[in-house]
Copies of this chain bind each other. A is one copy, B any other.
Amino acid sequence: MKLSLPPQAILLPSPELIIGTFGSDGRPNIMNAAWGGIACSNPPCISVSLREATLTYHNVQQVGAFTVNIPSEKYFSAADFVGITSGRECDKFKETVLTPEKSLLVNAPFVKEFPYALECKLVRQVELGTHTMFIGEIVGLVADSEILSPNQLPDIEKARPMLWGSFGNMTYFGIGEKLSDAFSVGNELIRN
């Protein structure tokens, strides 16, 4: 039976985006954000929505750059930790034993232990309510050589990203079984 329910910001699955920034004092910080996604292919852009209460919000505004780091599933505890603590109260890199490494392209740190990160320059900012959407142009990508596919792009089966079940099921998951190839299986439905 179909039910009509009150509006909710609930997307399944939600990604786990670890946002890396420097403060104007140069101090590195990371936070966990699930509100975001790719915004454009060319120029490649990604959006991340943040509350003004977060340190990352102010860092992005002041410095104009951030990284989007994709954690492997084995880092689920660290990914959770950086979402429930504030960089104002602790050094999240130190507490999680993760290593900030400065991007060569933008003024933001990426997480050395994570399989890959997008290096972003802030290009647009959209105020929406509780959250402000920050749109970054992806100017580079740093990745572990071991997680690349033959076309030199991050391979999901090697990167083993995690995902979040959102508010209906407050749980992290790994990726599951392969269902089929994309951009091809649908051809079987095309009538000749």
Contacts and interface: CB of A to CB of B under 8 A. Distances in A.
Nearest to A117: B2
Interface residues of A, number: 110
A93 interface: no
A192 interface: no
A118 to B, nearest CB: 8
Given A129-B45, A179-B76, A13 B163 contact: yes
Given A37-B35, A83-B186, A186-B85, A140 B7 contact: yes
From DSSP, what is the main secondary structure of chain A's interface residues?
mixed
- Copies of this protein, total: 2
A186 B140 contact: no
A96 to B, nearest CB: 6
15 contacts: A1-B144, A5-B141, A10-B154, A13-B156, A45-B128, A80-B185, A84-B183, A84-B184, A163-B175, A170-B182, A171-B180, A172-B180, A172-B181, A172-B185, A173-B177
Interface of A: 1-15, 34-47, 49, 68, 70, 73, 76-85, 95-96, 101, 104-105, 112, 118-119, 124, 126, 128-131, 133, 135, 137-146, 148-149, 151-157, 159, 161-191
